[in-house]
Amino acid sequence: MQLIVDIKNRFQNGDVLTRLILVNIAVFLLINFGKLIAWFGLFDGQWMDVIVHKLSFAEYLPVLITQPWSIITYMFTHESLSHIFWNLIVLYWVGQLILEYMGEKKLWAIYFLGGLCAIIFMWVSLYILQFAGTISGRNQFLITPHAYALGASGSINACLVAIATLIPNYTLYLFLIGPVRLKYVALVVILLSAISIPNGNAGGEIAHLGGALFGYLYTKQLQQGRDVGAWFNKLSRWRLKPKSKMKLAHKSKEPKSNMHYDEKTIDAILDKISQSGYSSLSQTEKDILFNASDKKK
């Protein structure tokens, strides 16, 4: 089918944002088409519940040990249409900003590592709360064998806070609200997650906060000249678009002194954006940042 060929080409030739969105959609469709087929009675629908649980992060340690892959697959797994719709809307919007100001490699690292840190932060927090509740006699965070977490929200919160930390004064025009600075959007998202912890989804809201914390720390480290995701990108180069041999050869001929100078210049521009916003840049600085973003892709 031509549609499948087009999607395959889109995945192979698209940027990391496109690939992340396509993978999330593919998993969602497989789960829900499976449920549809099961609804017609062609096989036992309980198998779909088992598959979803195998893809979701198992909060209960004895179960987690039997499916360690779920620490990765959970961040690409959605069941409900509303869940994936809003997650992908925000991912697309935030991902475009990260591609423009930070580059493709940074987006992949923030999404993946942010998702890992979000779920680890949630898991450790719940076990600490359960332990504290056991001691106090008011255990509100009992982790059962049937406790699972799924969805890309932790990764997306990491992306949102990472770019908001880099360009806090970037202005968005929200429907029915008007112009709002990016830092206030991120702050509202964090506050909503915090105050929603007692409302029935404590684990999910704590994971959102863990992702947000990673995004903030990632960008702060980047502004100090330390890319904490560099090692991850080296391990996952297959996720990025391959560069032509001509570009690689040209890059290898660049003097080390110029490359060092470019890095210092870019760091200075990023600092200026953080302090005064993107609009404070000169046209030359904008061109340098744009070219650097292209190289990162």
Judge if 98 and 151 occupy the same domain.
yes
Distance of CA 275 to the CA centre of its chain: 24
What burial class does residue 260 get, using C-beta atoms within 10 Å of its C-beta: 0-12 exposed, 13-18 middle, 19+ buried? exposed
Residues 170 and 267 in one domain: no
Residues 215 and 258 occupy one common structural domain: no
pLDDT at 291 over 70: no
Same domain, 10 and 140: yes
Overall domain count for the chain: 2
155 vs 284, which has greater pLDDT?
Answer: 155
**232 and 113 inside one domain:** yes
Same domain, 201 and 250: no
- Do 215 and 259 lie in one domain? The reply is no
Question: Is residue 96 located within the same domain as residue 224?
Answer: yes
Strand (E) or helix (H) holding 188: helix 182-195
Q: Last residue of some domain: 207, 239, 271? A: 239
Chain length of the chain: 297
Q: Are residues 154 and 265 in the same domain?
A: no
Residue 22 is predicted with a pLDDT of 95
Residues 221, 261 within the same domain: no
- The enclosing domain of 100 has a CATH number of 1.20.1540.10
Environment class of 22 (CB within 10 Å of its CB; exposed 0-12, middle 13-18, buried 19+): middle
Task: Give the pLDDT confidence of 20-48 residue by residue, as tens digits.
Answer: 999 999 999 999 999 899 888 777 778 88
Domain that holds residue 287: 245-296
Same domain, 122 and 83: yes
pTM for the full predicted model: 0.77
258 shares its domain with 218:
no
- Taking only the tens place, the pLDDT of each residue in 214-267 is 999 999 999 888 888 888 888 876 445 544 333 333 343 444 334 344 667 777
